[in-house]
């Protein structure tokens, strides 16, 4: 895509599928490049270090084992041809996301927060949601 071609950029829970830090830095560089001045950025990723992440995986397992989920389970938890896809998930920490956004300084106003911090009082997400949120706006040149 050409430079400054998008008014808004949203990336929901895709960071975990990157192969590592290098791809994370490249992805954020591209997001910044294609965002127009004044454009908004919103990125979420699963916080795999959050204590509720393990609880949600365990609850999913118990409900499936008890026959409560059936066909509603994600395919990677039921398809026997897929070997433990979770072992390939990239763990992006809050500090690593901040580092990846460090190159934005000067032309973007960006914050990195947990789901709880982002939700605040009446936010879009449950304060207990185990995610990390990167949100910001590309500054307009004066």
Q: Any idea where the domains of the chain sit in the sequence?
A: 1-48+89-142, 49-87
pLDDT of residue 71: 47
Of the two residues 52 and 6, the one the predictor is more confident about is: 6
C-beta of residue 6 within 8 angstroms of C-beta of residue 35: yes
Q: Cα(12)–Cα(36) distance, rounded to whole angstroms? A: 20
Which tens digits make up the pLDDT trace of 61-75? Answer: 666 666 555 544 555
Mean pLDDT of 7-15: 92
DSSP strands (E only) in the chain: 6-12, 35-46, 108-114, 131-138
Q: Which residues contact 63 (CB under 8 A, 6 or more apart)?
A: 69
CATH architecture of 1-48+89-142: 3-Layer(aba) Sandwich (3.40)
Q: How confident is the model at residue 34 (pLDDT cuts 50, 70, 90)?
A: very high
The pTM for the full model equals 0.71
């Amino acid at each position: 895509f050409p430079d400054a071609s998008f008014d808004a950029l949203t990336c929901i829970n895709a960071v975990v599928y990157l192969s590592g830090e290098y791809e994370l830095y490249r992805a954020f560089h591209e997001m910044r490049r294609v965002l127009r001045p004044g454009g908004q950025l919103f990125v979420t990723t699963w916080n795999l270090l959050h204590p509720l992440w393990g609880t949600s995986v365990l609850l999913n397992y118990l409900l499936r084992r008890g026959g409560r989920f059936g066909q509603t389970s994600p395919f990677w938890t039921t398809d026997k041809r897929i070997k433990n896809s979770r072992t390939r998930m990239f763990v992006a920490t809050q500090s690593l996301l901040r580092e990846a956004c460090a190159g934005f300084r000067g032309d973007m106003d960006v914050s990195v927060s947990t789901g709880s911090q982002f939700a605040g009082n009446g936010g879009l997400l449950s304060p207990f949601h185990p995610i990390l949120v990167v949100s910001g706006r590309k500054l307009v040149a004066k």
